[in-house]
Amino acid sequence: MTNYANDGRASGEERRPGASRQWTAAGPATARDTGTRIREIAQATLVTAAATALAAALDAYLPVAAVALVYVCGVMLVAVATRRSTSIYAALLAFLSYNFFFTEPRGTLRIESAQDVVAVFAFLVVALLCGHLAWRLRTRVVELQSANRSARVLQELGAQLARAADAGQVFTVGCQLVAEALARPTIALARGDAGTEPRQRAAVPGDARLDESGRRAADWALQHARPAGYTTDASGDSAWWLLPLLVEESCFGAIAIRDADPGRPLSDEDRRLAEAMVQLVALAADRTRLAHTLERARVESESERLRTALLSSVSHDLRSPLAAVIGAATSLAAYGETMADGDRRELLASIRGEAERLDRYIQNLLDMTRLGSGPLRLERDWIGLDEILSAALQRLRKLFPALPVERELATDLPPLYVHAALVEQALFNVLENAAKFSPPAAAVAVRASVRDGEMTVEIGDRGPGIPEDERRRVFDLFYSAERGDRGARGTGLGLTIVRGMIGAHGGRVEALAGRGGRGTTIRITLPLTEPPAAEAAESEP
Amino acid sequence: MSEPSAPAARILVVDDEPQIRKFLEISLRSQGYAVAEAATGREGLERLATGGADLLILDLGLPDLDGIDVLVELRQWSTVPVIVLSVRASESEKVGALDSGANDYVTKPFGIQELMARVRGLLRSPGAAEDSPPVFDDGSLRIDLARRAVTLVGEPVRLTRKEFSLLALLVRHAGRVVTQQQLLRELWGPEHVEDAHYLRVVVGKLRQKLGDDAAAPRYLRTEPGVGYRFVAEAASPG
């Protein structure tokens, strides 16, 4: 603990002080290591013995100097397959065997001629050198292979993490790939909310669970934001190795790898790889967390904006008629007696008209809440468009008695299977809007036709029109609500409601340029349903 | 109300709501004023520039121009008194309008008599008031601005200099709102326009000395978030 108090997290080696020596090649042998050593010594001895036998067989045909080459080959073989110390042992053994069996006098370690002494020691130097070179070569190849594999694994992990859309996927992908790369059971843990247990977010294999000591190690790792468990000072008795997921010193989870596997310890490279992978997972998780936070902030500010806009729209739409009602009523009360009859009647008509306007706004508001609270329950029935249209026009005529309306309905319109009241409200809102923007005496045109299994109803006015780039937006709640006070009188929520009601029937609403480029045409498209075989029912005897 | 004998005062109403224009027109006309109307800020400015008016009633929520912009523009060439119509709960808008040159405001929705009181207050000849400071006397409270004497039911009221200055300023604008900032600037200087608590203390003392109840003041009415108003007329019913 003490030796990494001053930030010993620069490299993987330093993260496991005290423990690291156990598994680096230079460290003292563990029991597992001793077994390997004995095996390698035995291999070296066997190879040397074989080399001796081969040399003996060749002795009759070759000069003694050539026999030495057989031994050098043996040393190289050993060096390529084992560690460095074993290759030195093989070189020494070969030297002694050569000396014992092949230099005169044979069968002793003595050497007679000075020439042979030089040859024998030259042989020793060559054997050591070859052994060393062969060992270096092998080490380099192994390193390259391992680096190559790490690079591939990390690249794959990076690519998969980049596709992860949320923290859950990051945990799943990370856990999966770490487990595959190391061939170890792996568990991804997320730090719980304050004071709660860490939650297991992913595990490979699926039924992998932390044991008691593993949980202790996980708690420690999460709390201290440092590796814990197997081979570390914290809960070193655990079979699990816990690597914290860190972003800028804060720990939001951990990856647990089941390390204690007596037969196959994780190699240095594996451990470094694991650490690099965990780092990638941490970064990816942080990225999704940030994206999530941003998204939430955006949604919150958007709904806040919408609420403000709605509120200002509602207060404007409700207050304007109220101000007129109160003003007209107080005028009548204060000065009614001195007013001309016509003025009095006008004020009364104004009070009534504004009260009715209030009533319509309130109806719109109720419709909005109806549309806003989950899916609309449609009470569908068969009804002709002309019937719905007449009802809507009747209501319109009360408000705009002088408004000319041109109707142009195709003669063979099939019946609609719709919630009549809602479609009537939608038509009324569009008509009211058209009437409001129509210049005096200009007609509002209603056309209906059937095309491609859909009914199209177009309502056109000769008003100022809507700029092309705003046509899409007129049905937006934002659009109508934000214009609120500044918009044309009573823009209100009417068109937003139209879209909601038509949308509930699977239809659509569009704003188009008016015929001949003047005014606006609102096109409502409703899907047609095949009517039930009513005729067949009637033709029954 | 009797018809004014002089030529009728001309009032221009600028509001985008036809129903509001309608009752204003009928009521103002029934009180003997000549009324012109405009539905947008542009139209209002044009009418004022071409036809003139003795008073402007201006809605702050216009479709084309912000009411404040209209005020700023017309104040460059006109001193016509302006009453703005504003919705409740936007004190900063009212203060902004008053700072931009509006003379008074009425909060929508409003009763017609509240507006009429403001109209009368603004149409009272301002020139005469400045030549000879008026004496306010409602039988109980008497304020003689020239002699700096205040009596309450015949008893002299001793006011500090600040108290008297505040009272005098409000009385000179009797019936109209004076913004907090305006009062602070005139009484304490421009560096104290944020020190609203000074004002609260002096107004409190003044109310005490005039026997005015802060909860239902007879003379010094608080316009929350905006300023103060000296009520010259007997409290209007409703």
List CB contacts (< 8 A) between B109 and chain A: 319, 322-323, 325-327
The pTM score is 0.52
- Closest Cβ–Cβ partner in B26, B30, B109 for A323: B109
Dihedral angle of Cα B212, B216, B221, B227, to the nearest 10 degrees: 120
Peptide bond into A105 cis (omega under 30): yes
- pLDDT tens digits for range A397-447: 888 888 999 999 988 889 999 888 888 888 998 998 898 888 888 899 999
Whether A28 has a pLDDT exceeding 60, the answer reads: no
Q: Which pLDDT belongs to residue A535?
A: 54
**Does pLDDT of B196 surpass 50?**
yes
Of B17, B19, B113, the CB nearest to A330: B113
Q: Tell me which of A317, A318, A320 to substitute to probe the interface with B (most B C-beta atoms closer than 10 Å).
A: A320
CB of A457 closer than 8 Å to CB of A449: no
3-state helix, strand, coil in chain B (%, to 5): 40, 20, 40
Q: What is the mean predicted confidence (pLDDT) over A72-100?
A: 86
Distance from CA of A310 to the nearest CA of B (A): 16
- Work out the average pLDDT over B32-61: 92
Residue with the larger pLDDT of the pair B72 and A236:
B72
Q: Which residue has the higher pLDDT, A81 or B6?
A: A81
Cβ separation B22–A488 shorter than 8 A: no
pLDDT tops 60 at residue B127: no
Q: Is the ipTM of this complex over 0.85?
A: no
CB pair distance less than 8 Å for B113 and A353: no
- In the CATH scheme, what is the code of domain B10-124? 3.40.50.2300
CATH of domain B135-230: 1.10.10.10
On whether the A180-293 domain is CATH 3.90.1170.50, my answer is no
Assigned CATH topology for domain A381-534: Heat Shock Protein 90 (3.30.565)
Nearest chain A residue (CA) to B3: A338
**pLDDT confidence of A350, banded at 50, 70, 90?**
very high
* Mean pLDDT of all residues in A89-113: 84
B213-237: average pLDDT: 77
Place of tokens 């409003």: B110
Q: How far apart are CA A528 and CA A389, in angstroms?
A: 17
Domain regions of chain B by residue span? 10-124, 135-230
Taking the C-alpha atoms of residue A91 and residue A123, their distance in angstroms, rounded to an integer, is: 9
Which residues in chain B touch residue A346, judged by CB atoms under 8 angstroms apart?
A: 22, 26
What is the pLDDT confidence band of residue A9, given thresholds at 50, 70 and 90?
very low
Is A466 strand, coil or helix? coil
Mean per-residue pLDDT for A108-126?
82
Q: Which residue among B26, B113, B238 sits closest to A339, beta carbon to beta carbon?
A: B26
Q: For residue A319, which residues of chain B lie inside 8 Å, CB to CB?
A: 87, 108-109
State the pLDDT at residue A479: 67
Q: Exposed (0-12), middle (13-18) or buried (19+): which is A400, by Cβ within 10 Å?
A: middle
Q: What percent of chain A stands above pLDDT 90? A: 16
Residues 284-343 of A with CB under 8 A from B: 315-316, 319-328, 330-331, 334-335, 338-339, 343
* B220-223: strand order across its sheet: B177-179, B227-230, B220-223
On the question of pLDDT at A459 being above 90, the answer is yes
- Dump pLDDT digits (tens) for A259-293: 766 566 778 888 888 999 999 999 898 888 888 88
Can you give the pLDDT at residue A375?
64
Asked if omega into A205 is within 30° of 0 (cis), the reply is: yes
> Which chain B residues touch A324 with a CB distance below 8 Å?
17, 19-20, 22-23
The reported pLDDT for the residue numbered A194 is 66
Among A20-29, A128-137, A508-517, where is mean pLDDT lowest? Answer: A20-29
How far is Cα B151 from Cα B137, in angstroms, rounded to an integer? 9
Mean pLDDT of A485-491: 46
Taking an 8 Å cut-off on Cβ atoms, the answer to whether B23 and A328 are in contact is: yes
The pLDDT tens digits of the residues spanning A195-218 come to 677 888 888 888 888 888 888 888
Q: What pLDDT, on a 0 to 100 scale, did the predictor assign at position A450?
A: 92
| Nearest-angstrom CA–CA distance, A495 and A426 | 8
DSSP bridge partners of A417: A382
Residue B2: pLDDT above 50?
no
Domain spans of chain A?
29-158, 180-293, 319-372, 381-534
Answer yes or no: is pLDDT of B25 > 90: yes
What does the alpha-carbon distance between residue A119 and residue A64 come to, in Å, rounded to a whole number? 10
Closest by CA to B221, choosing from B203, B205, B237, is B203
Contacts of residue A442, defined as CB under 8 A and 6 or more positions apart, other chains included, come to A404, A461, A462, A463
